[in-house]
């Protein structure tokens, strides 16, 4: 508050005040505001006395009052919108960019607004085009892209490429580019207005090819070649504009997949539409479309609507309409626009050369051959991706037709969803597990994907690679439906059915192409997956047969083709599965020879793994994972063997193996949900063995360590059956250990806790025999819930 000496009149001539005393500053402000600025000093001298702080405040408020921020004239929402880059032409038309003065806005395309501007120095006057990123699109992604454009363009100096002259940032921090101002007409308009001869059109096209080839030699793909991006100057020189989404090719001449390409779908290649890796072949494709437009003046694809999915479909399924063109030109266009990148001209230069051959009346390289047939096949092969795109877009649009062409935002959303769909179905299972909470979404997507796959499989024909793709998709789908060791939808019968479909496709192929190692590996995988799913059902004999089949297939394939590390790992997996199933049946039947057989398989598996060179990256992680898994299985076998014979040496062996397993798990990245689950599982299992050895304190410590991890996983996704089962198991084992320790109340508490979880698992997955058995054991330990659970009390103190 203000100090003494402040002479303020008693507050408030405003009788309506119900909010108490007015602040002295406010009183002074209003009184001063009624005076003229000249009268203020005298008034404030008198009114504030020696209170300099108060005086300063009032003075500053009076100054602010005299120059109100224009934002106060409007509502906050409007002010925010103005700030957020609404009506950029009004914002920037009056501004300067460094040395450049804006003359007018000449358009907005892609992701930037373009102004015509002029550089006026003492020395010379130059007209330029300035492209600026509107604030509204000011995402890190678009800023990054913008910067990229600047670097790329700076290195490209060619008579048919609009040059980058300068770059900078506005006073709002928005990046802009200064480029050659090209005075010309967009290619399609130019053709319409000047109606050049066929020969002139082809020459024009060849010049565009030259520019693209030049960019390719500089490791730049344009990725958005279309008439609007090519201006023809009055002397007939074409100039390529807008490298906004071009991407620097890396050393391997293969850029990473464009995560959200802002392409114009009609001119985009199938690989672009499907979000696959982009190469120079992408530009060759767009050049082919461009040539067709140049020669026929037809839009590339006549689609019914402009829904993204319509255009996407058209790009992937249909060929261009080249009717009315000389056959050779039609063939050239067809060859440039083949759906498979590798079947196109290998460069813009080659495309141009074939055009030159046509012009010179020499035979062209392009042949019509099986173009339409192949196009349909390509569409089929990628139909799952398409189906998912379709689903995602329909779901997102919720009845509203969004136009990709009109809405960049829709395009981005579309790409995001497509990415998600790809991720769900095509990426690794580890990836799936790291998407907690996604089960309902996956359920919906998977249901549709399954129907689509069935349709695909029906008319797949006899193309082995397509069939293998479909089989692969069936296996993955099966796993998502009900594979025990990943996040799954708990539908075991559907999972088995899906995997059986894969087997039915692959088996005849493997017979037909016995030397194809990849088909053998795929088939072995199918059998192994089947074995694992069956092992969780009550079908031990079938499971063992399937596992042995998997091993046999790989051993056979080893004889016909040298084994690589990938197939070695697959062999190890098959051996491990065989061992695990043997062990499980032995436990089931309480027969010791089964344990020995199981351990034998596991030893073979360890030998296979030791023969695989450590390798790098994923391969190495796979190997470490397998090592962890096989030792965990050895541990389980020893423990179960011990439970059958009562010989504690088995428990010691089990603990030893668990230790090796844990050491291997801990080599893997701990931020991976999957790895954390496996570590917790291993720790739980060690707790159980320690309990069997009577080391109750150690056991309790292990359970306490593992519990929070499982609880987190269950909380993250309530539909995650595996997590639920893991948690139920831990509680159940803890109950078992307490029971051994003779602590009945705790035993009952933890056993009780596991029961509803098992019941919930079994409700969704009634054939889950492991859960069913453990539920029975838990129920056997259950006592009347009259005694409250002594949670704080630990058996560890005994």
Q: Closer to other proteins by CB, 97 or 696: give it.
A: 97
To the nearest whole angstrom, how small is the minimum distance from the Cβ of residue 88 to other proteins?
A: 8
Q: CA 733 to CA 751: how far, in whole Å? A: 8
- Least Å from the CB of residue 167 to other proteins: 9
Q: Which residue has the tokens 């954390």?
A: 676
Rounded to a whole number of angstroms, the minimum distance from the CB of residue 144 to other proteins is 7
Minimum distance from residue 66 beta carbon to other proteins (Å): 9
Nearest to 778 by CA among 741, 743, 739: 739
- For residue 117, what is the enclosing H or E element? strand 112-120
* Rounded least distance, CB 26 to other proteins, Å: 5
**CB neighbours of residue 678 within 10 Å:** 22
Nearest CA to 377 among 322, 475, 456? 456
CB of 9 to other proteins, least distance (A): 16
From 91, 210, 224, 726, the catalytic residue: 224
Answer yes or no: are the C-beta atoms of 633 and 575 closer than 8 Å: no
Distance of CA 489 to the CA centre of its chain: 21
Q: Using the minimum distance from each CB to other proteins, give the nearer residue, 91 or 537.
A: 91
User: What's the start-to-end Cα distance of the chain, in Å?
Assistant: 66
Minimum distance, C-beta of residue 165 to other proteins, in the bound complex (Å): 14
Compute CA distances 745 → 20, 52, 699, 782, 788, whole Å.
Answer: 64, 75, 17, 9, 8
CA distance 249 to 221: 7
CB of 397 to other proteins, least distance (A): 16
117 or 385: whose CB is closer to other proteins? 117
Residues 476, 490: Cα–Cα separation, whole Å: 14
The strand pair at 112-120 and 125-132 is best described as antiparallel
CA distance 676 to 621: 14
Helix axes 696-716, 673-692, angle to 10 degrees: 150
CA of 395: how far to CAs of 310, 425, 551, in Å? 15, 17, 43
In this complex, which beta carbon is closest to other proteins, that of residue 130 or of residue 334?
130
Catalytic residue flag (residue 328): no
Distance between CA 80 and CA 537 in Å, rounded?
60
Residue with smaller CB distance to other proteins, 13 or 759: 13
Q: Which is nearer to other proteins, 169 or 254 (CB)?
A: 169
Tell me the C-alpha distance between 216 and 279, whole Å.
9
Backbone angles phi and psi of 116, in degrees to 5: -90, 135
Closest to other proteins by CB, 7 vs 409, is: 409
**What is the Cα–Cα distance from 351 to 213, expressed in whole angstroms?**
10
- Other Cβ atoms less than 10 A from the Cβ of 618: the count is 10
Token pair 């409250």 is at which residue?
788
The answer to whether the CB of 694 falls within 8 A of the CB of 676 is: no
Which H or E run includes 177?
strand 175-180
Q: Which two structure tokens, joined as six digits, stand for 564?
A: 């690589």
Helix 187-194 / helix 280-296 crossing angle, nearest 10 deg? 20
DSSP per-residue letters across 395-426 = HHHTTPPPPTTT-HHHHHHHHHHHHHHHHHHH
The strands making up 238-240's β-sheet, listed across from edge to edge, are 184-186, 230-233, 238-240
* Nearest distance from C-beta of residue 12 to other proteins, angstroms: 11
By the criterion CB under 8 A, which residues form the site for other proteins?
14, 16-19, 22-23, 25-26, 29-30, 33, 57, 60-65, 68-72, 74-88, 98, 108, 134, 136-140, 143-144, 147, 168-173, 175, 409
Using the minimum distance from each CB to other proteins, give the nearer residue, 107 or 159: 107
Least Å distance between CB 34 and other proteins?
11
637-to-665, 682, 762 alpha-carbon distances in Å = 19, 14, 25
Q: In angstroms, give the least distance from the CB of 391 to other proteins.
A: 24
- Rounded CA-CA distance 624/331 in Å is 52
Contacting residues for 331 by C-beta, under 8 A, at least 6 apart = 364, 366, 367, 368
C-beta separation of 181 from 128 below 8 A: yes
Nearer to other proteins, 82 or 298 (CB): 82
In the bound state with other proteins, the residue whose beta carbon lies nearer, of 151 and 194, is 151
Residue 80 tokens read as: 């925010």
Residue 94 or 360: the one with the smaller Cβ distance to other proteins is 94
Nearer to other proteins, 167 or 319 (CB): 167
Strands 220-221 and 230-233: unpaired
Q: Which residues contact 342 (CB under 8 A, 6 or more apart)?
A: 281
Q: Min. distance of Cβ 35 from other proteins in angstroms?
A: 14
Catalytic center residues: 224
């Amino acid at each position: 508050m203000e100090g003494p000496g402040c002479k303020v009149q008693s507050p408030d001539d405003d009788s309506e005040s119900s909010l108490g005393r007015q602040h002295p500053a406010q009183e002074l402000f209003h009184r001063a505001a009624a005076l003229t600025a000249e009268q203020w000093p005298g008034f404030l001298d008198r009114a504030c006395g020696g209170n300099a702080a108060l005086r300063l405040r009032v003075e500053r408020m009076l100054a602010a009052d005299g120059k109100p921020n224009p934002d106060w004239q409007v509502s906050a929402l409007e002010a925010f919108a103005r700030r957020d880059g609404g009506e950029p032409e009004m914002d920037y038309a009056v501004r300067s960019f460094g040395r450049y003065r804006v003359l007018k806005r000449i358009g907005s395309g892609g992701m930037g607004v373009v102004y015509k501007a002029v550089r006026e120095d003492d020395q010379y006057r130059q007209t330029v085009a300035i492209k600026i990123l509107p604030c509204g699109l000011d995402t890190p992604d678009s800023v990054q892209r913008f910067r990229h454009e600047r670097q790329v363009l700076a290195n490209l100096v060619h008579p048919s490429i609009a040059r980058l002259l300068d770059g900078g940032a506005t006073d709002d921090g928005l990046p802009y580019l200064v480029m050659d101002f090209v005075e010309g007409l967009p290619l399609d308009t130019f053709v319409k207005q000047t109606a050049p001869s066929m020969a002139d059109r082809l020459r024009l096209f060849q010049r565009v090819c030259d520019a693209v080839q030049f960019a390719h030699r500089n490791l730049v793909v344009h990725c958005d070649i279309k008439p609007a991006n090519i201006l023809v100057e009055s002397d007939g020189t074409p100039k390529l504009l807008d490298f906004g989404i071009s991407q620097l090719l890396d050393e391997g001449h293969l850029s990473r997949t464009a995560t959200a390409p802002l392409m114009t779908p009609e001119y985009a290649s199938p690989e672009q539409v499907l979000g696959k890796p982009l190469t120079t072949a992408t530009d060759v494709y767009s050049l082919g479309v461009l040539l067709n437009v140049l020669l026929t003046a037809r839009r590339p694809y006549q689609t019914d609507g402009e829904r993204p999915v319509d255009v996407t479909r058209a790009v992937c399924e249909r060929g261009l309409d080249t009717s009315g063109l000389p056959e050779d030109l039609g063939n050239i266009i067809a060859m440039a626009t083949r759906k498979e990148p590798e079947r196109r001209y290998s460069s813009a230069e080659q495309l141009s050369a074939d055009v030159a051959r046509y012009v010179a009346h020499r035979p062209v390289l392009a042949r019509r051959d099986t173009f339409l047939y192949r196009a349909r096949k390509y569409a089929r092969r990628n139909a799952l991706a398409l189906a998912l795109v379709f689903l995602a877009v329909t779901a997102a649009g919720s009845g509203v037709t969004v136009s990709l062409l009109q809405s960049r935002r829709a395009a981005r959303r579309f790409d995001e969803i497509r990415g998600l769909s790809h991720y769900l179905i095509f990426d690794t299972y580890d990836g799936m597990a790291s998407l907690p909470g996604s089960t309902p979404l996956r359920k919906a997507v998977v249901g549709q994907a399954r129907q689509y796959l069935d349709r695909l499989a029906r008319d797949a024909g006899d193309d082995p690679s397509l069939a293998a793709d479909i089989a692969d998709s069936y296996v993955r789908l099966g796993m998502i439906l009900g594979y025990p060791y990943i996040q799954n939808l708990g539908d075991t019968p559907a999972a088995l059915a899906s995997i059986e479909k894969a087997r039915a496709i692959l088996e005849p192929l493997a017979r037909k192409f016995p030397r194809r190692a990849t088909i053998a590996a795929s088939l072995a995988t199918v059998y192994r997956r089947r074995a694992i799913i069956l092992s969780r059902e009550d079908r031990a004999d079938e499971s063992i047969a399937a596992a042995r089949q998997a091993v046999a297939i790989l051993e056979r394939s080893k004889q016909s083709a040298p084994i690589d590390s990938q197939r070695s790992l697959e062999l190890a997996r098959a051996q491990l599965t065989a061992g695990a199933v043997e062990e499980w049946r032995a436990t089931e039947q309480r027969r010791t020879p089964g344990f020995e057989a199981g351990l034998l398989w596991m030893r073979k598996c360890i030998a296979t793994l030791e023969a695989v060179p450590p390798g790098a990256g994923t391969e190495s992680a796979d190997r470490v994972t397998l090592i962890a898994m096989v030792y965990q299985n050895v541990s389980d076998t020893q423990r179960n063997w011990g439970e059958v014979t009562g010989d504690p040496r088995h428990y010691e062996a089990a603990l030893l193996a668990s230790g090796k397993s844990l050491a291997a798990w801990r080599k893997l990245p701990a931020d991976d949900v999957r790895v954390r689950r496996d570590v917790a599982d291993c720790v739980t299992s060690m707790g159980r063995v320690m309990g069997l050895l009577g080391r109750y304190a150690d056991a309790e410590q292990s359970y306490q360590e593992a519990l929070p991890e499982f609880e987190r996983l269950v909380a993250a996704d309530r539909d995650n059956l595996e997590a639920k089962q893991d948690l139920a198991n831990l509680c159940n084992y803890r109950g078992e250990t307490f029971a051994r320790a003779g602590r009945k109340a705790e035993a009952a508490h933890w056993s009780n806790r596991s029961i509803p979880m098992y019941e919930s698992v079994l409700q969704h997955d009634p054939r889950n025999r492991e859960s069913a058995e453990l539920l029975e054991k838990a129920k056997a330990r259950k006592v009347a819930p009259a005694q409250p659970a002594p949670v704080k009390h630990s058996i560890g103190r005994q």
